[in-house]
């Protein structure tokens, strides 16, 4: 059962400038490309997870006094691969849900020249 796309609702809002009308649109995120999205978001994921992995490796070094280089390399590579895989799976799940029940609705408006500072 595939959900039919909804029509695009346009409404005009008065902007602060008297000569410019702002167009407001409600749009829906209907599809996320799994590989491209996961590739982009895995970098954000790594920014937060690498310090946590590094802290775990530091604790292991302090506790055992030695840490093989392959352990560090494997931990960082596995962290990146698992992060990419989970993000890819999340995109696939989102696309499945969005196709059947609808995606995330976003409120988009056109920027005026004053907004582009």
Contact (Cβ atoms closer than 8 angstroms) between residue 106 and residue 24:
no
Per-residue pLDDT in tens (0 to 9) along the chain, 117 residues: 445 554 444 454 554 554 555 567 788 888 999 999 998 998 898 899 999 999 999 998 999 888 888 888 898 899 999 999 999 999 999 999 999 998 988 888 877 777 766
Q: Which of 42, 29, 30, 20 is nearest to 87 (CA)?
A: 42
pTM, two decimals, is 0.65
Q: Give the chain's largest Cα–Cα span.
A: 70
**Residue 1: per-residue pLDDT:** 46
**Residue 29: per-residue pLDDT:** 86
**Residue 117: per-residue pLDDT:** 65
């Amino acid at each position: 059962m595939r959900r039919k796309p909804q029509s695009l609702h346009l409404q005009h809002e008065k902007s602060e400038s008297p000569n410019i009308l702002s167009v407001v649109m409600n749009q829906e995120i209907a599809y996320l490309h799994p590989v491209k999205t996961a590739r982009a978001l895995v970098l954000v994921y790594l920014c937060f997870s690498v310090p946590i992995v590094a802290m775990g490796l530091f604790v292991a070094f302090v506790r055992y006094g030695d840490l093989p280089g392959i352990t560090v390399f494997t931990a960082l590579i596995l962290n990146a691969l698992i992060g990419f895989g989970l993000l890819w799976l999340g995109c696939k799940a989102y696309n499945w849900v969005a196709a059947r029940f609808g995606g995330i609705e976003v409120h988009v408006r056109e920027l005026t020249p004053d907004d582009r500072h």
